[in-house]
């Protein structure tokens, strides 16, 4: 097990996180820790993954990125079980469908910004125990200030103001982490998984499929695998998507 690359994914029971776990665990010599706020959903995802073509190994931990006690407990558990994390994928996120006003912006920032920052910082000491550490923040093209301002860009059209603001803040955090951690050899990236099917926008088929526009999250998983194996190392510290880089 200690020879395997240890990958931890937050929000791994659904959508992009689940597809990424499925992609990674289809390769040998990877151990994927499914970090899920609802441990029973994590176990269910793990059981489902074990029915697929798994060559790597899997485990589940409870991790709510909005709960400091849960974060500390998860860090201690991973430290005791593995002693390090090689790849940390900060994926948990929300658009808080159904909420409005202060509740909506509070929930979105609590998860996508405060949660992502505090959980990522908490796992840095375990990343520093890795020979080849990598930290991937799952962002969105909707968080790009440059694309939002470019009226020719498809990314300038969608509303989603609170979500956009949260991903713009996440991008700033990624830049800051990259500058601080690059000399300690942590490869830090922001990555947009593209518009793909998931529960992010709600649970109706219309929301899951983004009115029929959403692609397959397995494509996002494959692109994340490219980052993990080093094929995007020329883009360390940048805002990646499957086919290139976005402007911040
Ligand atoms: N799908 C897209 O088109 C798209 C596009 C661009 C970016 N993204 C980004 O991709 C990431 C994954 O989203 P998704 O599309 O896969 O949506 P999803 O299917 O809704 O998955 C989100 C995951 O995050 C988890 N989560 C939410 N709050 C959490 C918390 N406080 N602590 C721990 N886990 C929490 C959810 O857990 P529960 O199941 O318990 O709710 C779920 O596992 C997000 O950061 C999203 O912004 C997605």
**Band of pLDDT at residue 236, cut at 50, 70 and 90:** very high
What is the sign of the dihedral through the CA atoms of 248, 208, 163 and 106? negative
Give the mean model confidence (pLDDT) for residues 180-202: 97
**Band of pLDDT at residue 104, cut at 50, 70 and 90:** very high
Q: Which residues contact 64 (CB under 8 A, 6 or more apart)?
A: 37, 70, 71
| Closest residue to atom 25 of ligand 1, CA basis | 11
Give the mean model confidence (pLDDT) for residues 195-224: 97
The answer to whether 163 is a known catalytic residue is: yes
Q: Which of 18, 22, 30, 163 is catalytic?
A: 163
Give me ligand 1 centre to Cα 112, in Å. 9
* Candidate of 20, 88, 92 to mutate for ligand 1, largest count of ligand atoms within 8 Å of Cβ: 92
- CA-closest candidate to residue 175, choices 246, 108, 127: 246
Q: Are 192 and 223 in contact (CB under 8 A)?
A: no
Separation of CA 118 from chain center? 14
Does residue 59 carry a pLDDT above 90? yes
Ligand 1: atom nearest CA of 198 is 19
Q: How many domains does the chain have?
A: 1
CATH, residue 226: 3.40.50.720
**Structural domain containing residue 228:** 5-246
Does residue 73 carry a pLDDT above 80? yes
Give the mean model confidence (pLDDT) for residues 193-221: 97
What is residue 153's predicted lDDT score, i.e. its pLDDT? 83
pLDDT tens-place string over residues 108-147? 999 999 999 999 999 999 999 999 999 999 999 999 999 9
Ligand 1: atom nearest CA of 12 is 43
What is residue 159's predicted lDDT score, i.e. its pLDDT? 87
Question: Burial letters for 109-121: b for 16+ Cβ neighbours within 10 Å, e otherwise?
Answer: bebbbebbbebbe
- As to burial, measured by CB atoms within 10 angstroms (0-12 exposed, 13-18 middle, 19+ buried), residue 36 is buried
* Candidate of 63, 198, 221 to mutate for ligand 1, largest count of ligand atoms within 8 Å of Cβ: 198
Does residue 1 carry a pLDDT above 60? no
More reliable by pLDDT, 152 or 141: 141
Ligand 1 neighbourhood includes 199 CB (under 6 angstroms): yes
Does residue 2 carry a pLDDT above 80? no
More reliable by pLDDT, 65 or 150: 65
Give the mean model confidence (pLDDT) for residues 159-179: 97
pLDDT tens-place string over residues 82-98? 999 999 999 999 999 99
Helix-helix angle 116-127:68-82, to 10 degrees? 20
Ligand 1 neighbourhood includes 221 CB (under 6 angstroms): no
What is residue 158's predicted lDDT score, i.e. its pLDDT? 80
The answer to whether 149 is a known catalytic residue is: no
Give me ligand 1 centre to Cα 10, in Å. 9
In whole angstroms, give the CA distance from residue 184 to residue 71: 23
């Amino acid at each position: 097990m200690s020879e395997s690359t240890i990958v931890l994914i937050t929000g791994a029971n659904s959508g992009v996180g689940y597809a990424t776990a499925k992609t990674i665990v289809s390769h040998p010599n990877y151990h994927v820790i499914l970090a899920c706020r609802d441990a029973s959903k994590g176990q269910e995802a793990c059981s489902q993954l074990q029915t697929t073509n798994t060559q790597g190994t899997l485990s589940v931990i409870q991790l709510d990125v909005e709960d400091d006690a849960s974060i500390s407990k998860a860090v201690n558990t991973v430290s005791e079980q593995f002693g390090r994390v090689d790849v940390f994928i900060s994926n948990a996120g929300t658009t808080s469908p159904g909420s409005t006003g202060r509740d909506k912006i509070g929930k979105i920032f609590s998860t996508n910004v405060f949660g992502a920052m505090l959980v990522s910082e908490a796992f840095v000491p375990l990343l520093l125990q890795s020979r080849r550490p990598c930290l991937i923040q799952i962002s969105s093209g909707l968080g790009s200030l440059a694309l939002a301002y470019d009226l020719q860009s498809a990314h300038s059209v969608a509303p989603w103001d609170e979500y956009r603001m949260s991903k713009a803040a996440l991008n700033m955090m990624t830049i800051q982490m990259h500058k601080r951690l690059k000399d300690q050899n942590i490869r830090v990236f922001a990555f947009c998984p593209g518009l793909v099917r998931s529960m992010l926008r709600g649970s109706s088929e219309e929301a899951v499929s983004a009115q029929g526009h959403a692609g397959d999250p397995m494509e996002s998983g494959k692109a994340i695998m490219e980052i993990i194996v080093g094929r995007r190392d020329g883009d360390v510290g940048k805002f990646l998507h499957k086919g290139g880089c976005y402007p911040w």
